[in-house]
């Protein structure tokens, strides 16, 4: 399976022009790279224009009286393939619980999207795994990103030993069919080892994905 590199732009950039320029630079840089899967998750407002394959969040219902929400069916109809769910910033600022996140994951899977569940501890997996089982959905369409809180946006990535230990613990819960990514202060200097030494099947990149040269370097180093 090809390594999966996901760009999470978070609440950036602040204009459509800058978003277009960032995407164009990334596209140019990775044009000839085939053996890697790249997912770009911009803010929702840019999605219909940029037509990228990823989104940063998803709601748990397809339609209805839910002001401000973006549904999995809308994203699917927009051509999106992957959606991040349960990012630690949403757990913190939007007070999302494991129950809410599990509903989002189920709704995404039912709509044929591939959710990327972010966790920083194993207990955050339990609810989701149980629900996927209850609904008899395919766990291989789930992607998990191990993102230790201390490493997100701090410039201090997780040690390879700890990251590998967590990857193996997650694999024990979900089986070998589910891809497991590492996220948290990934850059072009540490990217390779999370794949080659800690055994992850891809990376979730925040800050470094806003710098096209750095993000392209990460992709080139990994492939
Ligand atoms: P970072 O963010 O790469 O800036 O640490 C990762 C993330 O929050 O997904």
Tokens 């997912």 found at: 39
pLDDT score recorded for residue 117: 98
The Cα-based distances of 219 to 94, 146, 204 in angstroms read 31, 19, 11
The Cα-based distances of 80 to 42, 56, 66 in angstroms read 11, 11, 21
Distance spanning both ends of the chain, measured CA to CA: 12
pLDDT score recorded for residue 1: 84
pLDDT score recorded for residue 31: 92
- Determine the Cα–Cα distance for residues 77 and 61; give it in Å rounded to an integer: 14
User: What separation in Å is there between the alpha carbon of 134 and the centre of ligand 1?
Assistant: 31
Q: Is 95 left (phi over 0), alpha (psi -120 to 50) or beta?
A: left
Round the CA-based radius of gyration of the chain to a whole number and report it: 16
pLDDT score recorded for residue 49: 98
Supply the pTM of this predicted model: 0.97
Tokens 């709509």 found at: 111
What element of type H or E holds 95?
none
Best residue for ligand 1 mutational test, from 143, 207, 209, 210 (most atoms within 8 Å of Cβ) = 207
DSSP 188-211: TTTHHHHHHTT--SEEEESGGGGS
Mean pLDDT by 10 residues, the chain (223 residues): 96 98 97 94 98 98 98 98 98 97 98 98 94 96 98 97 98 96 98 98 98 98 91
Nearest CA to ligand 1 atom 6: 206
Ligand 1 pocket member 216 (CB < 6 A): no
Tokens 């008899």 found at: 136
Give the pairing type, strands 4-8 and 179-183. unpaired
pLDDT score recorded for residue 133: 95
pLDDT score recorded for residue 128: 95
pLDDT score recorded for residue 73: 98
């Amino acid at each position: 399976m090809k390594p999966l590199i996901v760009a999470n732009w978070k609440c950036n950039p602040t204009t459509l022009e800058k978003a277009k320029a960032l995407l164009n630079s990334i596209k140019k840089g990775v044009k000839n790279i085939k053996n890697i899967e790249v997912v770009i998750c911009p803010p929702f407002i840019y999605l219909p224009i940029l037509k990228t394959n990823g989104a940063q969040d998803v709601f748990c219902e397809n339609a209805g009286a839910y002001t401000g929400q973006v549904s999995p069916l809308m994203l699917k109809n927009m051509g999106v393939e992957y959606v991040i769910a349960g990012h630690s910033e949403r757990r913190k600022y939007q007070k999302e619980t494991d129950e809410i996140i599990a509903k989002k994951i189920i709704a995404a899977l039912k709509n044929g999207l591939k959710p990327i569940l972010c966790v920083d501890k194993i207990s955050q997996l339990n609810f989701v795994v149980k629900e996927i089982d209850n609904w008899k959905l395919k766990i291989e369409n789930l992607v998990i990103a191990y993102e230790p809180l201390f490493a997100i946006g701090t410039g201090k990535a997780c040690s390879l030993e700890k990251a590998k230990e967590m990857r193996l613990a997650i694999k024990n819960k979900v089986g070998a069919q589910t891809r497991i990514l590492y996220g948290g202060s990934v850059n072009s200097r540490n990217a390779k080892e999370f794949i080659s030494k800690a055994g992850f099947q891809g990376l979730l990149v925040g800050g470094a994905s806003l710098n096209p040269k750095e993000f392209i370097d990460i992709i080139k180093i990994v492939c």
